[in-house]
Structure 1
């Protein structure tokens, strides 16, 4: 089991979760963060600091965002388990369903 980042994170990229994660298992895609399920130790530290409530324990992901459990795992299909997000930096890609989301509108000035 692991924690999962769901749709509310798309285009937010707050990074509070990254700063709180004790094992550095939250990786940055182009538009969203992803949790490496094999590196996650299920501590929940990321969940409580997420400003948009996008992080859920795998069994608690709301049905409307259930596809994000597989999406978090799919993000790591090519890269595997790098052993820490800080060492690899931002990945310039995302996976479905994030790829199909409409682009967020920039904040009003």
Structure 2
């Protein structure tokens, strides 16, 4: 299911809003697959806060392609049941998105 989501999201690269919605669905699917109710609740709070932001980091030049390649790395690690690789891929994905968000915010506030 996750791999199909990443494949389908390729068609949304020219539409940051639609890609952002697909991105939220992808992350939600991973959260639900964890079967950890506490994690799902906490991440839902984070996503609600992020929804208040005016723009998505996926609107940054090239970020959509990068995010989808990061999603694919996450899916590959999960499918191989490689916990360490999945952790690294998720950590790196979140870090790159955060840095991208900081850069976007610094440009809009300058």
Kindly indicate which of the two structures has a greater share of residues assigned to helix: 2
TM-score, scaled to structure 2: 0.30
Q: Which has the larger radius of gyration?
A: 2
Larger RCO, structure (CA 8 Å, separation 6 or more): 1
Kindly indicate which of the two structures has a greater share of residues assigned to strand: 1
